[in-house]
Structure 1
């Protein structure tokens, strides 16, 4: 079926956009580190899987939880990393929203998260 054949479209006008799909409910709201870790696991490869992290850690701070991974040591520590970058996951304590921040040390990642929130608010 082409766009012009859709029952809700009008010939000669641009195609009707697809219907908006709202979230089905609120994001899960973590109340402790274990719940934050369960949410954070959804955003990382399985721990111990090939190419996956060796462990996941949770760092609680005033308004959220930072979930970050540790990776196994490379066989050749002098070789460049196979994959550059990476992300940490922040889960808000107030609404459960998940935000990705660069793979910085916890204190720097939390500081960046605060800056992101400040920019969103202005």
Structure 2
């Protein structure tokens, strides 16, 4: 029997965000970026916790809010990331639906969300 990390994290990678909670009713719909950030906090380890992000950031776009983790700058900016991985969260402006996306830069994550969203609505 092995000692598994109950959080599902993989050694050497940032902590895995908690699973999305089951829907028990209507999702809160954020009215602005600050409200989206508060909803997004539920899906990331606590800021400043061991192995947690240094900050959480919001990128507002036409149909949603991208919430992503900020990490301290690398000591050697030319080296590959020591702890790649993680995910971004998008909260839809229309209905508050929360979606997970890979840890892409904001512009790439928004582009991916648009492609996935257009498939669901077609």
Q: TM-score, with normalisation over the residues of structure 2? A: 0.73
* CA-based RMSD: 1.9
In the TM superposition, what is the alpha-carbon distance from 1:32 to its structure 2 partner?
A: 0.5
Q: Identify if the C-alpha distance between structure 1 residues 86 and 25 changes in structure 2 by more than 3 Å, giving closer, same or farther.
A: same
Q: Deviations over 1:7-43 (max 9, x none)?
A: xxxxxxxxxxxxxxx9432001000011000011011
| Counterparts in 2 of 1:38 and 1:71: CA distance versus 1, 3 Å | same
Q: State the match for 1:102 in structure 2.
A: 102
Q: How does 1:1-122 map to 2 (within 5 A)?
A: 23-73=23-73, 78=79, 81-82=82-83, 84-122=84-122
Which structure would you say has the larger RCO, counting Cα contacts within 8 Å and 6 or more residues apart?
2
Cα 1:44/1:120, change in 2 over 3 Å = same
SS of 2:85's partner is: coil
Q: 1:25 to 1:76 in 2, by over 3 A?
A: same
The CA distance in 1 between the partners of 2:23 and 2:55, in whole Å, is 31
Deviation at 1:121, TM superposition (A): 2.4
- Unmatched 5+ residue regions in structure 1? 1-21
Q: C-alpha distance in 2, partners of 1:37/1:24? A: 20
Length, aligned pairs only: 100
Taking the aligned partners of 1:80 and 1:62, their CA distance within structure 2 comes to 30
Deviations 1:88-121 (A, max 9, x none): 1000000100011111111111010000111222
Larger Rg: 1
